[in-house]
Amino acid sequence: MNKIMFFALVLITQLNFGQNIFPTSGNTSIGAGATPISPLHIKSSNDAILALQTTDDRWLYTQYLNSVGTRKSWIGLGYDLSSFNITVENGTDKILLNGGNVGINSPSPLNTFEVKVPTSKGVSSSDGISIHDGAVYRLGINIGVNTESEYSYIQAIKGGIGQKNIIINPIGGSVGIGTITTGTHKLAVEGSIGAREVKVLATGWADFVFKKEYNLPTLQEVEKHTNEKGHLENIPSEEEVLKNGINLGEMNAKLLRKIEELTLYVIEQEKKNIIQSEEIEKSNKQIERLSFENKTLTSISERLYQIEQKIK
């Protein structure tokens, strides 16, 4: 590599001899005039200011050493000249361009942009990608992985307030918002959900209540069950709901069943009311007729009495 640098400098020197300055100390100028601003200052009218060439097509890079000569980082082409690397400390790849893909801490990126995070068991902004406003109390978002619980996360952060997570579990594809515990749920939310509309795909509905073969419980049976159990039949008790929650689709179907049963009770009661109204109307007519007959008999009785008095 040192030979390559030497030959390149010699070549540039020959092309720009009239403007080159090689002092015994201080800054060196190659085509940059008499006042170079750095230890090596190169200026050229060509687009390619510096050319580096290797003889074996293996590696080609520039390395940076510390005060004792230990390499601390390097920038250049990787093995077989097939990738571009920006590497620091111990030769570990940090940023790599390979076949149009960019890898950060990933030596062989398979995606257009790929980041390999440290093997971390917890969740922190240093584990993945962080986008923030740069303030002391950061406002931003972190993206990373938790290898202990085996999930990916999107983490909203605000200094002094804390972190709120959206986690994605690759095993089963479950998602947690505000919680890392999804249980058997595909979506687990710690807190309330606000929505303009929620659609639940149900596996069944309660229309069977209106079929002729449905055995509608009597009101006496309903009363007996509520007195004994303290809740309607086929409806979970308060204790069960507090312990297990409810399934919206299933509960809506159960509530609809009770509404449809109540509708049947109302229809049945309406039929009874109609019959009772008809019977009452008949009774009223009979009463009116009897009242009329009674008045007639009373009138006849009075006339007979008067006749009887005249005969005497």
pLDDT digits (tens, 9 = 90+) for 124-163: 545 567 777 777 677 777 777 777 777 777 777 777 666 6
- The rounded percent of the chain whose pLDDT value lies above 90 is 31
pLDDT value, residue 125: 47
Residue 207 has pLDDT above 80, yes or no: yes
Q: What is the pTM of this model?
A: 0.54
Question: How do beta strands 101-104 and 113-115 pair?
Answer: parallel
Q: How many residues does the chain have?
A: 312
The string of DSSP codes covering 254-283 is HHHHHHHHHHHHHHHHHHHHHHHHHHHHHH
What is the 3 state secondary structure string of 292-310? HHHHHHHHHHHHHHHHHHH
Rounded to an integer, what distance in angstroms lies between the CA atom of residue 256 and that of residue 103? 56
Cβ neighbours for 41, distance < 8 A, ≥ 6 positions apart? 27, 28, 29, 30, 32
Host H or E run for residue 102: strand 101-104
- pLDDT score of 19: 65
Distance separating alpha carbons of residues 234 and 46, to the nearest angstrom: 87
Residue with tokens 């006496």, as numbered in its chain:
220
Cα dihedral sign, 270-271-276-277: positive
Rounded to 5°, the CA angle 92-97-102 comes to 95
**In which band, very low, low, confident or very high, does the pLDDT at 101 lie, cut at 50, 70 and 90?**
confident
Q: How large is the average pLDDT for residues 210-230?
A: 95
Q: Quick one: pLDDT at residue 24?
A: 83
